[in-house]
Structure 1
Amino acid sequence: MNLLAWNCQGLGAALTVRNLKEECFRKKPHLVFLMETKQKASYVRKVRRRCGFNEEWLVNPVGKGGGLALWWSDSIVVNILFSSSNIIHTSVLSDELFTPSYITFIYGPTDDDQRMLCWQEIRRLSNNIRSSWLCIGDFNDILSQAEKCGGIPRAWRRIINFKCFLSDCELEDLGFNGPSFTWYNNRHSLDTIWERIDRALGNMHLREQFPTLQVFNIDPARSSDHHLLFVQCQYQAYKKKRDFRFEAVWASHG
């Protein structure tokens, strides 16, 4: 199973929709998770149809901000177990694909207190999980100072709180391929700040079930300040076959 997650920072821009559509048709994900749609449900549905998906779960934006969209293909069945403005917690089934048992889609609040409440809710959800679990999204947090470049260092209290959250839920970072940072503040020169706040996490059961899982950070042509995450649960590296060439010298050896 393949899935795509992106803090698109609004689906209203034509470039954003074009980049999303291109990535959907190029990568062919079975699940798409969008954060900060900032659009009414009727408009998000139009974009969903243009990207080739039939099923959806939407969380409406509050005022001019927020909004979540989860789209999936007919090849899987998604059961919504919990939903809020920051979390969509699901169980996933398929007769055709090898899928994680649970996937939690996360848009971490920027406010410290609200983010801690979000982590507490996910801790509660984790108590009922006994099989493979994938968490993906924009966590608005980092695990080390190395995951930030520019600006003042992140407060160690925040880093420790985020690490404790992962430990309590028995989750670990699944790594990445591509650029080291997934967000920047859209400023230039000395004011530029880069951070790796978009990521995928998994538990031990997920690691065992999907040992070749790979996460890719993709830059969608600057239509958002966030990179797009693409996860292949069963990644296969394809090696190009070398053309066979007959060397005349071989005929002289017999």
Structure 2
Amino acid sequence: MSILAWNCRGLCNPTAIRVLADLVCSKRPKVIFLMETFVDRRKMEGIRVQIGYDNVFTVGAVGHRGGLAFLWMNTVVLEITGYSTNHIDTKLALDIDKPQFRFTGYYGFPERHRRREAWNMLRSLAAQSSLPWVTMGDYNDLLHQFDKRGRLPHPDWLLTGFRETVEDCGLHEFLFEGHKFTWEHSRGIENMVEEKLDRIFTTESWLTIFDGARATSALCPYSDHLPIILTPETLERRSNRKRFCFDNVWLREEKCREIVTQSWERTMGLDVFTRIEYCGNDI
């Protein structure tokens, strides 16, 4: 079972809906969280029928801004527990006999002057439940300078504020495979900017249950954001959890040595375990 989160930048035209239908066909997610749909509840109900989902919950757009939607199949057990224009909160189980956890689809305020408001909202959400928690979506925030390519560096006060928020919430970033810069602006010109705005965060208790979980970004021709697909899995069928182990003999390969050097330099200032995790992911 997989969960797809995507800032689709509008579902107002047939092309957008076809792209969403293609994603559904290729990735087969049982749960979908959509941001910036730009449509109301009636339109979203029609889209649900077109792409073949059993259920939909919609937070309608305000004019031509915002709009959130949750779609899910009857094969999962899902209960909507709260929502706003920036999030949809749920209790979710992959099957009736599977453990229940909390899943929050999150969309951060795009306006920079509302960053503190967004951080406080995330802290408030963290305090509302003790269930194992995973949250994913477009946070409109960066954790590190290496989360951005192009133009001016990201302001340090924004990096610090978001990192402190994540720590206060007891969350850990869940790294995904695929292209890391999930948002781009001005593609193909000299001033192109890429940023890692879309992320997954989990609590330690969620990671303990889903110790075989994995995630990846997916290519998409429509939006300026990439979708992220999370597959929550356990390792019950395997005796040992696979962990990244570095072999010094790899350094004899020039390309591998170059990857290690670049990874270690760009994660300067982080704790050693996080740096090893990033390095393993890069390799």
Residue in 2 that maps onto 1:195 = 195
CA change 1:138–1:214 in 2 (3 A) is: same
- The CA distance in 2 between the partners of 1:99 and 1:24, in whole Å, is 25
Task: Name the SS for the 1:16 alignment partner.
Answer: helix
Greater Rg over alpha carbons, structure: 1
Secondary structure of the corresponding residue to residue 19 of structure 1: helix
Deviations 1:146-190 (A, max 9, x none): 010001110000011110111011101100100121000134221
Name the counterpart of 1:92.
Answer: 92
- 1:120 maps to 2:108: no
Range that drifts further, 150-159 or 93-102: 93-102
User: Could you tell me how far 1:49 is from its partner in structure 2?
Assistant: 1.3
Task: Supply the AA of the counterpart residue of 1:159.
Answer: L
The 2-side partners of 1:128 and 1:26 are apart by 35
The alignment covers a number of residue pairs equal to 235
Q: Which moved more, 1:100-109 or 1:2-11?
A: 100-109
Query: Are 1:206 and 2:182 matched, yes or no?
Result: no
Post-superposition shift, 1:44? Answer: 1.4
Q: Deviations over 1:65-121 (max 9, x none)?
A: 110011111022322222110011111235447465101110111123433223212
Q: State the distance in 2 between where 1:183 and 1:99 align.
A: 33
Are the counterparts in 2 of residues 100 and 206 from structure 1 also a CA contact under 8 Å?
Answer: no
Q: Which position in structure 2 is the counterpart of 1:103?
A: 103
Q: TM-score, structure 1 length as denominator?
A: 0.87
For 1:122 and 1:116, locate their aligned partners in 2 and report how far apart those are by CA, in whole Å: 10
Q: 1:230 aligns to what?
A: 229
Residues 77 and 95 in structure 2, CA contact (< 8 A), matched pair in contact too: no
Distance 2:95 2:120 in 1: 33
Tell me the secondary structure at the aligned position of residue 15 of structure 1. Answer: helix
Question: AA paired with 2:229?
Answer: F
Displacement after TM superposition at 1:123 (Å): 1.2
Where 1:65 maps in the other structure, the secondary structure is coil
Q: CA deviation at 1:43?
A: 1.6
The alignment partner of 1:142 has SS state of: coil
Equivalent position of 1:144 in the other structure: 144
User: Does the CA-based 8 Å contact 1:38-1:61 persist in structure 2?
Assistant: yes
1:5-20 correspondence runs (5 A): 5-20=5-20
**CA distance 1:33–1:67, change in 2 (3 Å):** same
Deviations along 1:34-71, one digit per CA (max 9) or x if unpaired, are 10100122221111111111211101111111100111
How far residue 29 of structure 1 moved from its aligned partner, in angstroms, is 1.0
Q: 5+ unaligned residues in a row in structure 2: which ranges?
A: 236-283
Distance 1:154 1:98 in 2: 41
With normalisation by structure 2, the TM-score equals 0.78
Cα distance in 1 for residues equivalent to 2:26 and 2:234: 16
For the 8 Å contact 1:100–1:134, the answer to whether it is kept is no
**SS at the partner of 2:34?**
strand
For residues 15-54 of structure 1, what are the structure 2 equivalents within 5 Å? 15-54=15-54
Q: Which amino acid aligns with 1:109?
A: F
2:247 matched to which residue of 1?
Answer: none
Q: Give me the CA root mean square deviation.
A: 1.7
Amino acid at match of 1:211: D
1:55 aligns with 2:55: yes
* Residue 250 (structure 2) aligns with: none
Runs of 4+ in 1 over 6 A off after TM superposition: none
Residue 164 of structure 1 aligns with an amino acid whose one-letter code is E
> 2 CA distance for matches of 1:151 and 1:4?
30
- Give the structure, 1 or 2, with the largest relative contact order (CA under 8 Å, sep 6 or more): 1
Match of 1:252 in 2: none
> Secondary structure at 1:191's aligned position in 2?
coil
C-alpha distance in 2 between matches for 1:88 and 1:22? 24
Instruction: Give unmatched runs, 5+ long, in structure 1.
Output: 237-254
Query: Is this contact kept in 2: 1:186–1:225, CA < 8 A?
Result: no
1:75 alignment partner in structure 2:
75
- CA–CA distance in structure 1, aligned partners of residues 36 and 97 of structure 2: 29
Instruction: For 1:192 and 1:41, locate their aligned partners in 2 and report how far apart those are by CA, in whole Å.
Output: 35
